Amino acid sequence: MTIPPLDPTYPLCASTVPAEGLPSSADAATPLLIALVKQSLNLVRSSQAWKKGKQFGKEDQKEGGKVQALYCPSDMEGRLKKCGWHARLSKHNPVEGGLSFTDLYDGLGTEDHTLNEKGYISDILESLQVGVVIPGRAEVWRNSYNLPSLTANRDFVELVVTLPLPPSPEPFSPAHEEVILKALSTKPLQLPQDPGSPSQGRRSFLVVSLPVAHPSAPERPEEFVRAKYASVEAVWEGAHHAEGQEPDIEWLMAVQSDSSGKIPLVFQEMAMPGKIAHDVPLFYEWARKQKAKHGRVGHDEARNVVEGQGAGTSAAPAAATVEGEGAAPVGPA
């Protein structure tokens, strides 16, 4: 039971990719996307063999249903040797839960992924977009969090990649991966706008977060401890469903986190399963309210865009800022 091999340039782990390692434009982003897709799909497949932990949640699908915790130890060296991969897996019935696959995609899989988080977890102080690699698909965000009084506040600078994937008979399988990589290798790069139609196959999408450095987001040691995490969210339609109904939806989230600072890593590791599992009912409560209020799932605030922001690490800061309630970090405690 080990994590699949890491890409040498863009390793999917809680280790910061230097600013100069980020692509300078969307045209140069293909190696980044291919590396993250390969590692993410390998991780999704390998998670089937991870150790099962505690089961969280309630049977009620309207509250997100049962959530299974999973764990795989790290095989890295140094500090990250102590930072394992934690995952949660949940299955959702669209009728009983009140949310369709499209609703989950709108809430989790679009360019508003980071802004939507503020709606269902309460510790965020600010989400600031500091750079763009591919508009709407690969963006750099600095998220700042207010943590309990005995814990120093944390911030994270993350490249967030949101990818709707081509429909497939077997989402995240090696055959599906081959189709995805072929599409990513086309010139010029053309990414799908949405996960397609259920008539084309089982739909799926992927969200990958990778810790990066960025010149527009230097560390602020007087206010925040700079922490790091790498995560993969994979959402797909199940294989079986009643005639005339949408299939169940499966949602996997896996994360490796380094809270940094003075928090002993053993405490972080103990807290991780419950912390990430709790996000499922919080998301479902928020998303169902959004759907009832607006007819769709999504954040209430408009995206503020700074004119002149371009791709890559030279982008001007603050393309979008959200203050107030928001998302708790998936790693630090």
Q: Over range 267-290, report the average pLDDT.
A: 94
Query: Has residue 326 got a pLDDT over 90?
Result: no
21: its two tokens = 């390692």
Domain membership of residue 8 (yes or no) is no
Q: Over range 232-240, report the average pLDDT.
A: 93
Band (pLDDT 50/70/90 cuts) for residue 149 is low
Domain membership of residue 222 (yes or no) is yes
CATH of the domain at 100: 3.30.530.20
64: its two tokens = 């997100």
> Is 0.85 surpassed by the pTM of this model?
yes
Cα 307 to Cα 115, 129, 244, 318, distances in angstroms: 19, 13, 46, 10
Domain membership of residue 10 (yes or no) is no
Domain membership of residue 5 (yes or no) is no
| Dihedral, 308, 311, 312, 316 alpha carbons, nearest 10 | 20
- DSSP code string of 195-237: ---GGGSEEEEEEEEEEB--TTS---TTT-EE-EEEEEEEEEE
Q: How many domains does the chain have?
A: 1
CA dist., res. 37 & res. 98, Å (int): 30
* pLDDT for position 305: 36
Query: Has residue 273 got a pLDDT over 50?
Result: yes
Query: Has residue 234 got a pLDDT over 50?
Result: yes
Return the higher-pLDDT residue of 313 and 204: 204
Cα 205 to Cα 45, 69, 84, distances in angstroms: 15, 21, 24
Radius of gyration of the chain (CA): 19
* pLDDT for position 321: 42
Enclosing domain of residue 184: 19-323
Domain membership of residue 333 (yes or no) is no
* pLDDT for position 307: 35
Domain membership of residue 13 (yes or no) is no
Query: Has residue 175 got a pLDDT over 90?
Result: yes
Q: 45 and 29 in contact (C-beta within 8 Å)?
A: no
Band (pLDDT 50/70/90 cuts) for residue 89 is very high
Domain membership of residue 9 (yes or no) is no
* pLDDT for position 325: 35
Domain membership of residue 313 (yes or no) is yes
